[in-house]
Amino acid sequence: MIPFNKPFLSGKETDNIKDAVLSGKISGNGKYTQLCHQFFNEKYPAFGKCLLTTSCTDALEMSAILTCISPGDEVIIPSYTFVSTANAFALRGAKIVFADSSEQHPNIDENTIESLITPKTKAIVPVHYAGMACNMSVIKEIANKHNLYVVEDAAQAIDSHFINDLGQRIPLGSIGDTAAFSFHETKNIISGEGGMLTVNNPELEKRAEIIWEKGTNRSAFFRGEIDKYGWVDIGSSFLPSEIVSAFLYAQLENLNTIQNQRIKWWNLYNQLLSSADLKGRIDLPEIPVYAENNAHMYYIVCESLDLRNTIIARLKAENIHAVFHYQSLHASPYYASKHDGRVLKNSDRFTDTLLRLPMFYELTESDIVKTVNIIKSCVL
């Protein structure tokens, strides 16, 4: 059996958890949470303030609170994304204005964004699909021109970079006013459920910490900056326990090993599929010149829904689990009646034709060869 995903364990996770448990401090913002924050700030100096959260969904909800989204505000979000990207803003009463994907890849088509802006627009939320950067120079330029916030959904984008016009590598998650990462067990670096908010706009930093701590200035109190703490703003319980951060820290210490292995498998898929005669019926991922690949996912785009169904069924018959991905949110049961009727053809095409192949650390070369051979047999 080749599953679609198998969570990778470095082996140190349980040691760290044991250490956290025996230390007697297992609520949040203790030693391991701080080690994780420190790790990120050292490895990616471009990151602003880092705050671990219990999920990427929570980091997105914090972003919606931080950017003061209120009823009637409009937020521009790609339709081809996970529900949390939109839901976080819908919870604050925002109207979600869905944008189409690019023709070449599932990321938001940056050329359509400006036509969606109205006086009510407050934020743009680019999603770095498969860990490949959106065109952040163009998105930031539009945001600056119209005075909008940018919140990066960097759920899949750990250790990936945007390449700017000067050829500099800018870590994803450091570009938006805020960014949200996920450490869900399906991502590259995991803690079961887990996430992180990065706050790159210094004006939002102080409030982020308060929202994170249930609307109190408890963090400042523990730093000795004030002599008592209280309710100073809205907020919620967004910080994970030390048990979660202890697990995460073991993963972070193995980040390079995990990334290198995934990139090796990604390249093998790509090499085998590029050299196969796919009769023009399957497209392989196109990495834009301004994006890097963190091997979060290997996907193919089939000529039709039928071909995708055939490939899924033939792989399944050999016990290989390949899965499709998002269903356009503008056409979802919750949002279809609220959508303004624009046709988002690329989002709908990826809904029907994109297929994700097994991708995880412990995959083997023969797993990949077998998977690719079955795919090849489907296009003959």
Ligand X SMILES: *Cc1c(COP(=O)(O)O)cnc(C)c1O
Residues at the site binding ligand X, with contacts judged by CB under 6 A: 55-57, 81-82, 84-85, 127, 153, 155-156, 182, 184, 195
If the CB atoms of residues 5 and 371 are measured against ligand X, the closer one turns out to be 5
**Min separation Cβ 363 and ligand X, Å:** 20
Q: Of 329, 359, 325, 41, whose CA–CA distance to 173 is shortest?
A: 41
- 167: amino acid identity, one letter: G
**Min separation Cβ 306 and ligand X, Å:** 27
If the CB atoms of residues 196 and 311 are measured against ligand X, the closer one turns out to be 196
The owner of tokens 């945007």 is 162
Structure tokens at 369: 């060869």
If the CB atoms of residues 135 and 182 are measured against ligand X, the closer one turns out to be 182
Beta bridge mates, 196: 52, 181
CA distance 167 to 117: 29
CA 35 from chain centre, in angstroms, equals 22
If the CB atoms of residues 92 and 314 are measured against ligand X, the closer one turns out to be 92
Residue 343 CB contacts under 8 Å (≥ 6 apart), including other chains: none
Structure tokens at 351: 């809904």
246 three-class SS: helix
If the CB atoms of residues 108 and 372 are measured against ligand X, the closer one turns out to be 108
**Min separation Cβ 3 and ligand X, Å:** 17
**Min separation Cβ 281 and ligand X, Å:** 27
Residues 378, 306 contacting (CB under 8 angstroms): no
If the CB atoms of residues 278 and 359 are measured against ligand X, the closer one turns out to be 359
CA distance 85 to 320: 29
Q: What is the 3-state secondary structure (H, E, C) of 300-343?
A: EEECCHHHHHHHHHHHHHCCECCECCCCCHHHCCCCCCCCCCCC
**Min separation Cβ 149 and ligand X, Å:** 17
User: Taking the alpha carbons of 346, 59, 285, 269 in that order, is the dihedral positive or negative?
Assistant: negative
If the CB atoms of residues 149 and 278 are measured against ligand X, the closer one turns out to be 149
CA distance 65 to 128: 21
138 three-class SS: helix
**Min separation Cβ 86 and ligand X, Å:** 10
Q: How far is CA 47 from CA 51, 92, 196, in A?
A: 11, 26, 11
If the CB atoms of residues 28 and 372 are measured against ligand X, the closer one turns out to be 28
CA distance 99 to 80: 9
CA distance 288 to 171: 16
Task: Tell how strand 74-78 and strand 121-124 pair up.
Answer: parallel
If the CB atoms of residues 16 and 54 are measured against ligand X, the closer one turns out to be 54
**Min separation Cβ 187 and ligand X, Å:** 6
**Min separation Cβ 127 and ligand X, Å:** 5
If the CB atoms of residues 187 and 218 are measured against ligand X, the closer one turns out to be 187
**Min separation Cβ 264 and ligand X, Å:** 22
**Min separation Cβ 310 and ligand X, Å:** 26
CA distance 132 to 134: 7
